Structure 1
Amino acid sequence: MHAETHLVLHRTRAAEFRAEADAYRLAARTDGPGALRTRLGWTLVELGLRLAAPRTAPAL
């Protein structure tokens, strides 16, 4: 697979994961038991996605 094609597919899938996480986060927002654990878990997932994302080069 061509490198640029792979990059486009990766970015598309990452955007889908983020949208899915946002939708889940909004739907699961409750104050019931386990809410803190859920919020902490999704925060760690979001942090992992940010750490895994490549840094963009500064504009020249």
Structure 2
Amino acid sequence: MHSDIHLLLHTYRSAELRHEAAEFIPVRPGLRHRMGWTLVELGLRLAQSRPHPQPARAARTA
């Protein structure tokens, strides 16, 4: 394929893709989806903020 034809086809295809992208309307996630991710985020925050348990008695060396 000649480079000028390849460039022309690439130009047409990129124009088509830009046109499709301009028409795209993103769908808002549903309540169930948002609640699930909110609970995951909350769980991660709780896991990070919990202090590490200290041993009741430190090991001693003789």
TM-score for the superposition, normalised by structure 2:
0.41
1 or 2 for the larger relative contact order (CA 8 Å, sep ≥6)?
A: 1
**Higher share of residues assigned helix:** 1
TM-score for the superposition, normalised by structure 1:
0.42
